[in-house]
């Protein structure tokens, strides 16, 4: 807390786990991933998930974010031949278009083989307000639940916030289990 009574939160972040802030019924990601999906977002091959969900909230026929696809050819044209995502697409995917869900899952399977280049931890300081809920979420949550699903779970449990991580973990584990069958 500073002299004016304002409170701040400082986060240190590395990798594709993420820190989110839920404020006034809105979920915002306050960190930027070091992940291959983020690489595709930065290259304008995919939209950002939170922005996409916000733009599509009044379009019930719009596909869920994880169902969006990116062209395998576009990945090859955008990145150098030695980029790990290009290597993976060339070796493991015969598909012309690859869904966000498939990209998330295929890259999780190859993390040890093609690790992201080590990065320096990022530091972010943000002002906190009464009622804010902050979540540090592993990719085990964000790869298995959509931002809309995470938001809905938070909204259901704002009166009992200690339930939020328990419900998120349970729902993500169920989704991961379903995807194995």
CA dihedral 81, 85, 90, 94 (to 10 degrees): -150
- The pLDDT tens digits for 1-23 are 777 889 998 887 766 678 899 99
DSSP letters, 124-146, are: EEEEE-TT-EEEEE-HHHHTTS-
CA angle 17/21/27 to nearest 5° reads: 95
Q: How far apart are CA 147 and CA 48, in angstroms?
A: 11
* Dist. CA 146–CA 137, nearest whole Å: 12
Question: 29-63, pLDDT tens digit by residue?
Answer: 888 776 778 888 999 999 988 889 888 988 989 99
User: What is the per-residue pLDDT across 52-111, written as a single tens digit (0 to 9) for each?
Assistant: 988 898 898 999 988 999 999 999 999 998 887 888 788 766 778 888 888 777 655 554
Model-level pTM greater than 0.75? Answer: no
Task: Name which of 82, 72, 81 is nearest 40 in CA terms.
Answer: 72
């Amino acid at each position: 807390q500073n002299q004016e009574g304002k409170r701040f939160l400082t986060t240190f972040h590395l990798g594709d786990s993420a820190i989110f802030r839920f404020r006034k019924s809105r979920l915002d990601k306050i960190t930027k991933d070091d992940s291959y999906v983020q690489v595709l977002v930065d290259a304008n091959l995919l939209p950002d998930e939170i922005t996409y969900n916000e733009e599509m909230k009044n379009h019930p026929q719009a596909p869920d974010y994880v169902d969006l696809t990116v062209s395998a050819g576009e990945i090859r044209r955008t990145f150098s031949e030695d980029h790990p995502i290009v290597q993976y697409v060339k070796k493991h995917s015969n598909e012309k278009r690859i869904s966000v869900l498939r990209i998330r899952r295929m890259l999780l399977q190859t993390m040890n083989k093609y690790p992201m280049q080590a990065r320096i931890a990022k530091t972010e300081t943000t002002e906190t307000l009464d009622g804010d809920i902050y979540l540090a979420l592993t990719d085990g949550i964000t790869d298995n639940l959509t931002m809309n699903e995470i938001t809905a779970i938070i909204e259901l449990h704002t009166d009992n916030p200690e339930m939020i991580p328990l419900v998120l973990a349970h729902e993500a584990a169920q989704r991961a289990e379903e995807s194995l069958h």
